[in-house]
Structure 1
Amino acid sequence: MADASRGERKEGRKPQRPRVMADTTQAIASDIFSGRYRPGDFLPTENDLGVEYGVSRTVIREALKVLAAKGLVSSRPRVGTVVCDEDNWNIIDAQVLAWHAAHALDDRLFDAILETRRAIEPLVAERAATRATLREIADLQAAWEGMANAGDDIATFSRSDIAFHQVLYRASHNPIFRQIGGMIDTALKFALEATNAVSTDRRAEAVKAHQEVVEALRLRDGEAARKAADHILDLAARDLVSAKQLNKQDKAR
């Protein structure tokens, strides 16, 4: 009976610790991204962090392990935990991007995402034009229709835009491109959600440019697909400038 009681008490406990640890990890990351703790700064001791965030030293230690695995901090025995240089941050990690998104738009990050896309996507589109299956072309068409029919619903427009690029990378049938696409997938979502928050007229231009890619794949025209992808990226570069300006206005308020 005693064992059963202990089992019931154990089963009745609420699994709060994982959530507490996740919240604490995000809170420390948030303080790093906001500039409270800058690269090269030493974080307070585990005891002091525990007091500050209202959690145990064990939770702090586990949170720091997560941040270290993502390149945000580095622990030095008998010295302390230091914030790593930004170049070491695993910025395309889904969690890191989610934590980062809560703060101001990072110009370097968005410029890097766009630069990566410019280096890859035109060739991806060119290869997809000759390799895509009929099913993949149909999926690309469906994603484009989602963008075209989204109207003022930015969330729906962004989801469809993201799906479009996911299909395009897959349709290249190049395993390296597909893996690269998977690596930058979260970063791409982050960028598209920011740049899609522009005027309806500009989204209409993006819809037309994406339609050009669909048509190029349907005609199996690699050169046209590459040009259409370049057109999409030119529009993305323009909208990125607008997104940066909006961000500066938000900061000034």
Structure 2
Amino acid sequence: MIETRNKADAVPGAPRRTRPRVQNEIVAALARSIATGAHPPGTRLPREQDLCARFGVSRTVIRETLKVLESKGLLRGKPRVGTFVRAKAEWNLLDPDILTWLGADFLDEALLRSVLEARQAIEPMAAELAASRATLQEIADMDGAWRQMAGAADTGAFTAADLRFHALLLGASHNPVFARFSGLVHAALEKAFDASNRAVPDHAETLRLHRDLVEALRLRDAAGARMAVEAILARAEHDLARVLDAAAARG
């Protein structure tokens, strides 16, 4: 097992730890500090030796950590000056690593609203196309995903089935650009779906709306399919507002 501390760059008195697990923890901790405003945009991070002391690791580990965060757009290094936090608009919040580091409780309003807007632009048209293009197997698969939602034992399982349902819908449109959408932004979609699904005490209405979409596809009803998706998205918008209001109330 590789140790995080080399004799040449050890900080006296700090505990000996192992990587890469510990390095991943440090990356996540720094990312959360940046996201929560402990290190605001435009400010310089503490010196490497101070970060070494804070986390009890070597300069090598800290330098590798900073490189990772630079590659994700959170930081910018300036030779002989230091490492600075970049503006939030420059962060790649669609990156699954960043969303994992920030944790399930991190809610970025701009990201969640942007995901919803993208869905509102894409999914109604995808539903219309699927009404005429979906195969019987694709419709059956969507029905299966709906049944998984209905039988989900917890919110996590419900969200996973919900994500699968909508990925299947995009695939059933037989538009390759639409079909790629859920894969490209899967992590952001998962966070948005999870936030919305946790906002309601039960999912009876959401299940009804998803069943309506499956039935419209079975009937090859393009207008009905669009209406069903628009109702699903309106519900998602309502639930998102509840999530954001609750987060604001908590301060």
Q: When the two structures are superposed, what TM-score results if normalisation uses the length of structure 1? A: 0.87
Structure 1 stretches lacking a partner, 5+ long: 1-12
What is aligned with 2:241? 241
- What is the total number of aligned residue pairs between the two structures? 237
Secondary structure at the aligned position of 1:208 is classed as helix
Tell me by how many angstroms 1:118 deviates: 0.9
**Deviations 1:142-199, CA, capped at 9 Å, x for gaps:** 111112233x722222121111112112222222112222112111110111111133
What is aligned with 1:228? 228
Higher mean C-alpha deviation, range 163-172 or range 235-244: 163-172
**Deviations 1:10-40, CA, capped at 9 Å, x for gaps:** xxx3683211211111111011011101111
What is aligned with 1:6? none
The answer to whether the 8 A contact 2:200-2:239 is kept is no
Secondary structure at the aligned position of 2:182 is classed as helix
Secondary structure at the aligned position of 1:97 is classed as helix
Secondary structure at the aligned position of 1:17 is classed as coil
**Inter-partner Cα distance in structure 2 for 1:79 and 1:97:** 29
**Inter-partner Cα distance in structure 2 for 1:20 and 1:114:** 35
- Specify the code of the residue in structure 1 equivalent to 2:148: G
**Inter-partner Cα distance in structure 1 for 2:195 and 2:248:** 13
What is aligned with 1:158? 159
Tell me by how many angstroms 1:51 deviates: 1.5
Higher mean C-alpha deviation, range 29-38 or range 108-117: 108-117
**Deviations 1:101-125, CA, capped at 9 Å, x for gaps:** 3544222221111111111111122
- Specify the code of the residue in structure 2 equivalent to 1:243: V
**Inter-partner Cα distance in structure 2 for 1:141 and 1:62:** 46
Higher mean C-alpha deviation, range 192-201 or range 109-118: 192-201
Instruction: Classify 1:119/1:101 alpha carbon distance in 2 versus 1 (closer, same or farther; 3 Å).
Output: farther
What is the aligned-residue identity percentage? 46
Alignment of 1:90-239 (within 5 A): 90-150=92-152, 153-201=154-202, 203-239=203-239
**Inter-partner Cα distance in structure 2 for 1:114 and 1:161:** 15
**Deviations 1:52-103, CA, capped at 9 Å, x for gaps:** 1111111111111111111111111122111111111110111111223354
Higher mean C-alpha deviation, range 83-92 or range 162-171: 162-171
- Specify the code of the residue in structure 1 equivalent to 2:85: V
Q: When the two structures are superposed, what TM-score results if normalisation uses the length of structure 2? A: 0.88
1:24 paired residue among 18, 23, 26: 26
**Inter-partner Cα distance in structure 1 for 2:200 and 2:30:** 35
Instruction: Classify 1:165/1:97 alpha carbon distance in 2 versus 1 (closer, same or farther; 3 Å).
Output: same
- Specify the code of the residue in structure 2 equivalent to 1:174: N
Secondary structure at the aligned position of 2:237 is classed as helix
Higher mean C-alpha deviation, range 166-175 or range 13-22: 13-22
The answer to whether the 8 A contact 1:75-1:81 is kept is yes
**Inter-partner Cα distance in structure 1 for 2:245 and 2:191:** 17
The answer to whether the 8 A contact 1:97-1:187 is kept is yes
**Inter-partner Cα distance in structure 2 for 1:120 and 1:39:** 33
Tell me by how many angstroms 1:140 deviates: 0.4
Tell me the C-alpha RMSD between the 2 structures: 1.8
Structure 2 stretches lacking a partner, 5+ long: 4-17
